[in-house]
Amino acid sequence: MRHKFKLSFSVLMISSCLVQVVNADEKRNGALTTMTSVTNGRYIPKGSALITQPSIPSSNITIGDGGVEVVDNQGTSISATIEKGGKQVVTHGSTAIDAKILGGGKQFVFEEKSLVNLEGVMKRSSAYNAKVSGSNGAIGQQNIYDGGTAWNTKVGQGGEQNLYMGQREDGGVARDTIVSGSGRQHILEEGMAVNTILNDQATQVVYPGGIVDGLTINNSASSWLHVSADLHGEIRVNDQGNLYLYAGDRTNHIKKEKLSITGRNEEKLFFVGMRDSEKKSRIYMDSLGGRGGTVVFASVPYDPRHISLHVAYLSGNLHFKFNISKHGDHIDYLSIDDGTGSHKISVVDSGVEITDFFNQENGLVSEIPLITDRSQNEGANFTLADRSGHDIPAVDGGAFMYYLKKRGRSADSSGDSTIWYLGTATSNSERSSTYSPRVSPRVNKKPKTLVALVASSTDTNTRTQFHQKPPASQNIDGKGKRKTNGKGKGKETTLSRPPRHLREAQQDPAPLSVSLPEDRAVEFSRPDGRHPSSDVQQQPAVSADASSLANQMLVRPSDQDQPSAQLSQELSVSNFLTTPSTDAVLSMSVAPGLVFHNELQTVRTGRGTLDRNKKNTALWTYAIKSKETVVAEHIDFKLEQMGIVLGISGLSELADGEFYIGGFGSYDQAHVTHARGGISGINTYSIGAYATYFDHSGLYLDGILKYNQYQTNLKAVSTNGLAIEGNYNQWAVGSSFEAGYRFKMAGSGWLQPYAQFTWLQVEGKEIKLSNEMTGDIKPFISLRSEVGLSLGYEFGLGRDTSSLAYITAAWLRENRDNNHTTINQQHQFTTDLSGNAGKLGFGLSSLVSDRLKLYAEAHYVKGRKTKQALQGILGVRYSF
């Protein structure tokens, strides 16, 4: 593992013998021709090598493709230009000053392995004020390793600085490096970068074992800190800079095992180590601050991991981007010893449950701790933000939304600390006019029924002991030891961080678990329908039989009265705020039924007021336009529907009346505009048949049988503005029966009461959205009754052309109130559209000729949960 992250450069095998400068070059070009001296500004051609000794420094030379300069035995090179394919080797205490490393050129600064102990070396190999750049896709490189040091290097566009350990146990050190443009700095095991500044789009990568002492990230630059990187000093993230905390693959890739067999030589076996997927990665920082920068918890997609970040001193205003796994069993975590400033937290909206909500056998897990702040003063302040940094009130965590809250906690084992956590949002908290997190009351004595919210006291004390805010006067020497200029001057102290075996042994904070009281249950809703204020509400606990009721929780309108005795037996979650994707799934579970009803209304238009034209066969078509608003518990959308219906009918004359029979097909498009963002679409194809009987006495009977096929494209927008989508198909079948009687009035008027009953069922469906939310939509059943009265008057009766105008008033009632949908296989919601509504309609039909008839009809429907502002129908009928 110690050499796992070394760079593989063939030039690391350079020896003091010139002909062995670069082994790869030997194989390619053979031995290099030695140049013992060169005039000022000389060009080093391919196949040549200049040996620069201390007696004659080189100045302003240019090293061309295949050329090499070896600065040896405390020699000095000034203002060398290293072109593509050229190399400069600085070793044995030598110095390179003001070198220009162009694209494809390479500089190597190191000490030979033959020097057993570098402590006694008066002067190490060094490079000062180098400028590294690239061009035309070729990268210029400065490689510092094995005790070499670089000062004030400027890495520009296309340049690269590499710090690592080669054949020695000492890595390279770079001090006061400035990386700009698209330049990069790589810090591998035992490599050290001191006081690095990243500007523009620069990138720094710190691999495990790499050391960083002081870092400033400006503009849009980024630093990737791998787990097990050694971090010291102050890290500042400014402007649009990004600090990525990277939990990579922790596999011990190659392991060796010895196999001893009697009578045979010992066998050596090599194998690939196993991944430890349960071990959490940890990163420790002495000081972290900045203005407007971003700290990102990251990992590789194929091996998602989470990081525990410990910061001894936090300041400024930073943006932390956390990740939470499914069910919240793995989370990123921030632990602070001393914190100030105002910071932002982002958690990606999730369609899966981030907590095992109401599902633990003996407890309630509906909160996730993110931060422990042990500051002695007020500490740092945190607010929720989206990924762009804009303030938001809550985040999506499956079926429900979560607010950022904080809780003060006093415990003898770990001292006074503040816990910042994600807790379920309620309808009360949503009405707050501020995004500031709510503060739960400070608990001065830990109840016996509660489990600690963070890591054990051992973990807490260990972290506090090894991490204190570093004095500003401290600095680090080349050996990684800290020198103190204040009290105790002259003493050398090692860096204040625990040994690695202690770090790995520390435990992670567990998700908040509130155990169940044995003697009583806490009711979530009061008998009067009001809910306790979240400002004073203790953490919820539930009755012992709550887990058995988890799959029976029904979300009903908050204004429904329920007996108080029932509240002690059932959990009402109607005060919990659902996520936009939950509401979208619930809305789309009822939308197909409404589309079906609107289509039925189109098919039956005018048949109750048909004149008897005595034609045997007729073709007809209708166009529909409908606008409807639906508002119920967790259902809030506008339905806009457009379509066309084509049909054919035939007439059979009976002794006492006429009998019509026909068939039809239709296609329409519906757009569902969700109140919380997103517009879903439904394409509907249908076929059906109908029969109508008109008795000479004035009685009529009408029946319809209809089948629909739906193609649904669900689209919603999460709380943080992420697009959510899901596609699925459903079918539906339904029938309608209507009976009425026409009373003749004076002149050409008539009065017609009627009653109608409609049944339909939409197929149940299990769906999965792009945010991984699942919805189990149970079969949607509608039982709708309608009783109404139509009043009509016919103009031009007895002529070749005539018109009929009528108005209709009706009372509608949806009788089905127990349709339901289950979200994420845990939370069952009732989609209840039951209730009464009033209907007002106006119709006009005109017989243009003996064969052609035109229709127009409009309706307005208003109920407690539904409002149909307009349903307009235009039709034409041609009889043969």
Q: Mind giving me the DSSP string for 674-725?
A: ETTS-EEEEEEEEEEEEEEEEETTSEEEEEEEEEEEEEEEEEEE-TTS-EEE
Partnered with residue 703 across adjacent β-strands are: 691, 737
Residue 530 CA to residue 534 CA, distance in Å, equals 12
Residue-level length of the chain:
880
Residue 527 CA to residue 523 CA, distance in Å, equals 9
Does residue 240 contact residue 201 with C-beta atoms inside 8 Å?
no
- Strand 617-632 vs strand 866-879: parallel, antiparallel, or unpaired? antiparallel
Mean pLDDT of 463-485: 38
3-state secondary structure of 3: coil
Partnered with residue 178 across adjacent β-strands are: 154, 197
C-beta atoms surrounding 434 within 10 Å: 9
Structure token digits, residue 433:
């006019």
Structure token digits, residue 749:
């008027």
Q: Over 90: is that where the pLDDT of 547 sits? A: no
Can you tell me which residue has the tokens 């000492």? Answer: 170
| Segment (H or E) for 223 | strand 222-226
Indicate the pLDDT class of residue 789, thresholds 50, 70 and 90. Answer: very high
Q: Mind giving me the DSSP string for 523-541?
A: -SS-TTS----TTTPPPP-
Tell me the percentage of the chain whose pLDDT exceeds 70.
Answer: 69
Indicate the pLDDT class of residue 313, thresholds 50, 70 and 90. Answer: very high
- Strand 820-823 vs strand 765-768: parallel, antiparallel, or unpaired? unpaired
Tell me the percentage of the chain whose pLDDT exceeds 90.
Answer: 50
Residue 848 CA to residue 383 CA, distance in Å, equals 69
Q: Over 60: is that where the pLDDT of 832 sits? A: yes
Can you tell me which residue has the tokens 């890739």? Answer: 253
The percent helix, strand, coil of the chain (3-state, each to 5) is 10, 50, 40
Q: Over 80: is that where the pLDDT of 242 sits? A: yes
The dihedral sign for the CA sequence 359, 515, 529, 395: negative
Residue 331 CA to residue 308 CA, distance in Å, equals 8
State which amino acid sits at residue 662.
G
Q: If we measure between CA atoms, which residue out of 207, 237, 213 comes closest to residue 225?
A: 207
Q: Over 90: is that where the pLDDT of 80 sits? A: yes
For 423-433, how does the pLDDT look when each residue is reduced to its tens digit (9 = 90+)? 887 655 443 33
Q: If we measure between CA atoms, which residue out of 98, 95, 97 comes closest to residue 111?
A: 95
Partnered with residue 173 across adjacent β-strands are: 149, 192
| Contacts of residue 320, Cβ cutoff 8 Å, sequence gap at least 6 | 294, 295, 297, 334, 343, 344, 345, 346, 382
Indicate the pLDDT class of residue 850, thresholds 50, 70 and 90. Answer: confident
Torsion of CA 482, 487, 491, 494, to 10 degrees: -30
State the pLDDT at residue 483: 41
Residue 516 CA to residue 586 CA, distance in Å, equals 31
Question: Which alpha helices (H) appear in 532-656, and where do they start and end?
Answer: 564-567, 580-603
Contacts 24+ apart (CB under 8 A), 712-715: 712/588, 712/592, 712/680, 712/681, 712/682, 713/680, 713/681, 713/682, 714/584, 714/585, 714/588, 714/680, 714/767, 714/769, 715/584, 715/678, 715/679, 715/680, 715/681
User: What distance, in Å, lies between the first and last C-alpha atoms of the chain?
Assistant: 90
Worst-scoring range by mean pLDDT, 347-361, 459-473, 737-751?
A: 459-473
Residue 316 CA to residue 343 CA, distance in Å, equals 8
State the pLDDT at residue 368: 87
Q: Over 90: is that where the pLDDT of 670 sits? A: yes
Q: Which residue has the higher pLDDT, 32 or 394?
A: 394
Worst-scoring range by mean pLDDT, 37-51, 186-200, 361-375, 740-754?
A: 361-375
Domain boundary assignment for the chain: 11-207, 588-879
What's the mean per-residue pLDDT of the chain? 77
| Segment (H or E) for 421 | strand 415-424
Burial of 445: CB neighbours in 10 Å, binned 0-12, 13-18, 19+: exposed
Q: Which residue has the higher pLDDT, 503 or 30?
A: 30
Q: If we measure between CA atoms, which residue out of 523, 512, 576, 509 comes closest to residue 364?
A: 512
Residue 214 CA to residue 287 CA, distance in Å, equals 9
- Strand 635-653 vs strand 617-632: parallel, antiparallel, or unpaired? antiparallel
State the pLDDT at residue 56: 83
| Segment (H or E) for 467 | none
Does residue 755 contact residue 567 with C-beta atoms inside 8 Å?
no
Indicate the pLDDT class of residue 471, thresholds 50, 70 and 90. Answer: very low
Indicate the pLDDT class of residue 807, thresholds 50, 70 and 90. Answer: very high
| Segment (H or E) for 335 | strand 333-339
Worst-scoring range by mean pLDDT, 250-264, 613-627, 849-863?
A: 250-264
Residue 342 CA to residue 173 CA, distance in Å, equals 34
- Strand 267-271 vs strand 203-206: parallel, antiparallel, or unpaired? unpaired
For 719-732, how does the pLDDT look when each residue is reduced to its tens digit (9 = 90+)? 888 999 999 999 99
For 592-602, how does the pLDDT look when each residue is reduced to its tens digit (9 = 90+)? 999 999 999 88
State the pLDDT at residue 642: 96
State the pLDDT at residue 367: 80
State the pLDDT at residue 713: 98
Phi-psi region of 36 (alpha: psi -120 to 50; beta: other; left: phi over 0): alpha
| Contacts of residue 71, Cβ cutoff 8 Å, sequence gap at least 6 | 52, 58, 77, 88, 89, 90, 91, 94, 95, 96
| Contacts of residue 650, Cβ cutoff 8 Å, sequence gap at least 6 | 616, 617, 618, 660, 661, 662
State which amino acid sits at residue 120.
G
> Which stretch, 3-17, 44-58, 218-232, 551-565, has highest mean pLDDT?
218-232
Q: Which residue has the higher pLDDT, 9 or 879?
A: 879
Residue 144 CA to residue 180 CA, distance in Å, equals 19
Residue 403 CA to residue 395 CA, distance in Å, equals 7
Residue 753 CA, distance from chain mean position? 57
Q: Mind giving me the DSSP string for 488-531?
A: TTT-EE--SS--HHHHHHPPPPPPP-EEPPSS----SS-TTS--
Q: If we measure between CA atoms, which residue out of 181, 147, 143 comes closest to residue 163?
A: 143
Residue 83 CA to residue 134 CA, distance in Å, equals 10
Burial of 453: CB neighbours in 10 Å, binned 0-12, 13-18, 19+: buried
Q: Which residue has the higher pLDDT, 742 or 450?
A: 742
Structure token digits, residue 18:
């010139």
Mean pLDDT of 377-391: 90
> Which stretch, 114-118, 202-206, 325-329, 493-497, has highest mean pLDDT?
202-206
Q: Which residue has the higher pLDDT, 648 or 561?
A: 648
Torsion of CA 181, 185, 186, 192, to 10 degrees: -170
CATH code, 588-879: 2.40.128.130
- ∠207-249-214 over CA atoms, to 5°? 25
For 287-310, how does the pLDDT look when each residue is reduced to its tens digit (9 = 90+)? 999 999 999 988 765 566 788 899
Indicate the pLDDT class of residue 710, thresholds 50, 70 and 90. Answer: very high
Worst-scoring range by mean pLDDT, 61-65, 233-237, 605-609?
A: 605-609
Q: Over 70: is that where the pLDDT of 820 sits? A: yes
Structure token digits, residue 717:
């927008």
Which pTM was predicted? 0.72
Worst-scoring range by mean pLDDT, 244-258, 809-823, 840-854?
A: 244-258
